[in-house]
Structure 1
């Protein structure tokens, strides 16, 4: 005898798997509305967490300025102190990549919807605020901002190249 619950679970699993395939290989217009809404919630949560972590990095910021021997400046990230350059740079690059990828997902999911222009303006403002915050928290001449910029642009360039490649192959 076949268990009906198992059949329903496998159908749900296949439906979700098809949504994921559509997400990666087709336009978001063809996605299941429930899947789109769930992805929008997840992307929004990731944006909120990465934004908060970017403006308040692990360890916080120095409260005072100190010269030799343990030199640091008030308002700069503690994690980026003289002995922690690599972990801070890695944190900043990965956090920026997650932030940028999530903002791209949000923009893709709300494309051709009401108030799209307003969402784009708000997203650009948030990205500018994030960039300003990490710029002001990072010690001068310490962080390799070209890597942070590449991490920020990667999702958009990846999607653009995918869409270009897809259009080129279809024609």
Structure 2
């Protein structure tokens, strides 16, 4: 019975498209690199990705130098609860962009490696909650007028755009060589 179910899901019509729908084709296209990974390699990559997520999350919620404990008015002033490193505009923005890029790339790697595994939905919800916590912490630690959030957002989206472009390019090359 299981074989018949699989055969029905992979049926091809005259236009050379599967009848199971576009959603499955998009998922297979996006995750095609992870199908044939060795379990030891997958596990090692998960450990590395988890370590990077933990470190970047921690540095995102407690940036180097910590946060101001008091508010000082006037020139050179600061607000309690804001990152001390933010007083150095360029280094703070660079730190925030690179930390967010590493965090986003590692969370994407974790989700890609765990796709189609048991408890994936629970890991996805936990990861999205962690990302929301990270964003909230970065938002609350950053001075209102200083941080270029468009750059931080681009850094957060870069891994997903990179994956999309990579898979599209691979698909185009494979279709031309066929």
TM-score normalised by L of structure 2: 0.78
Quick one: which of 105, 124, 127 aligns to 1:101? 105
Residue 56 of structure 2 is matched in structure 1 by 50
Q: Could you tell me how far apart the structure 2 residues matched to 1:161 and 1:67 are? A: 48
CA offset digits 1:12-57 (Å, max 9, x no partner): xxxxxxxxxxxxxx61121111111001001000000000000000
Quick one: which of 154, 160, 167 aligns to 1:163? 167
Q: Could you tell me how far apart the structure 2 residues matched to 1:79 and 1:27 are? A: 39
Residue 121 of structure 1 is matched in structure 2 by 125
What SS is found at the alignment partner of 1:159? helix
Quick one: which of 38, 43, 57 aligns to 1:37? 43
- Aligned residue pairs, count: 144
Which stretches of structure 1, 4 residues or longer, exceed 2 Å deviation after superposition? 167-171
Unaligned runs of 5+ in 2: 1-31
Q: Could you tell me how far apart the structure 1 residues matched to 2:76 and 2:111 are? A: 44
State the Cα distance separating 1:120 from its structure 2 match. 1.1
Q: Could you tell me how far apart the structure 2 residues matched to 1:100 and 1:69 are? A: 35
Unaligned runs of 5+ in 1: 1-25
What SS is found at the alignment partner of 1:64? coil
**Structure 1 position 149 matched with structure 2 position 138:** no
Residue 77 of structure 2 is matched in structure 1 by 71
What SS is found at the alignment partner of 1:36? helix
CA RMSD of aligned residues (A): 1.1
Quick one: which of 45, 59, 70 aligns to 2:65? 59
TM-score normalised by L of structure 1: 0.81
State the Cα distance separating 1:114 from its structure 2 match. 0.8
**Structure 1 position 86 matched with structure 2 position 90:** yes
State the Cα distance separating 1:141 from its structure 2 match. 1.3
